[in-house]
Amino acid sequence: MILLISCGKTYKLTEEDYKWMPYRGNETLVFKSNTGDKDTIFLFKKDTMVGYFHPQTSSDCYEVVSVFGKHIDPDLVNGQPHYLEKEFFSIKKTKDEYTEMKILLSAKNAVFYRLSSIEIDSLMKANTITIKSQFHQYDDVYIINGEDYQGNLYERSNYITKVYWSKSNGLIRYDKKDGVHWELAEK
């Protein structure tokens, strides 16, 4: 509460914005690939925070809600897999009154490189598609492409070309450049 009082103007998420957060922060996401491999992302915390746009020059604040996860590091260390804990997904209000989301997906030999935020207003203008996986059917899916403005990220073997995002279920599939795709099997 003290942090909110110390802010100039606070840009808060709306009730409609919160509908874009499909996670409680305690889920286990199990993905299976079309090659028979399996990977798990453990979501362990959901937090609502306030941040400053430019702490040196302004006291204006924004609200952000984030989910944190534990996943296998896409890069092996000494040939051995190990786990990392980091932010997995967030939505935040911008100074222009837009709402942005970020998907910070890292998994087994896979990273989603998305340099810019995804504006929810833009997504709402796009048509959703229906995806039927071998595990479930989703009727509210958006396809979000990876970004590589300079052309050097695509060369990485772990590059994810696109993610399939369900407004109600979150991440349901991701495709790598090598033709391997991973589908959500359990949540």
Helix (H), strand (E), coil (C) string for 16-64: HHHCCCCCCCCCEEEEEECCCCEEEEEEEEEEEEEEECCCCCCCCEEEE
| Dihedral of alpha carbons 159, 162, 167, 173, sign | negative
Which pLDDT score, from 0 to 100, does residue 3 have? Answer: 45
Higher pLDDT, residue 96 or 92: 92
159 pLDDT more than 50: yes
Which pLDDT score, from 0 to 100, does residue 163 have? Answer: 97
Give the domain extent around 35: 2-186
Distance (Å, whole) CA 85 – CA 88: 9
Higher pLDDT, residue 74 or 123: 123
Read off the pTM. 0.87
Distance (Å, whole) CA 117 – CA 94: 11
Higher pLDDT, residue 67 or 147: 67
49 pLDDT more than 90: no
Residue 60: name the closest of 89, 97, 87 by CA.
97
1 pLDDT more than 70: no
Cα angle vertex 10, ends 115, 8, to 5°? 115
Percentage of the chain surpassing pLDDT 70? 88
Mean pLDDT of the 2-12 span = 64
Which pLDDT score, from 0 to 100, does residue 58 have? Answer: 60
Structure tokens at 33: 């690939």
79 pLDDT more than 70: no
Ranking 57-66, 82-91, 111-120, 133-142 by mean pLDDT, the lowest is 57-66
Task: State the total domains in the chain.
Answer: 1
What integer best gives the mean pLDDT of the chain?
A: 87
Mean pLDDT of the 2-31 span = 84
Which pLDDT score, from 0 to 100, does residue 78 have? Answer: 66
63 pLDDT more than 60: yes
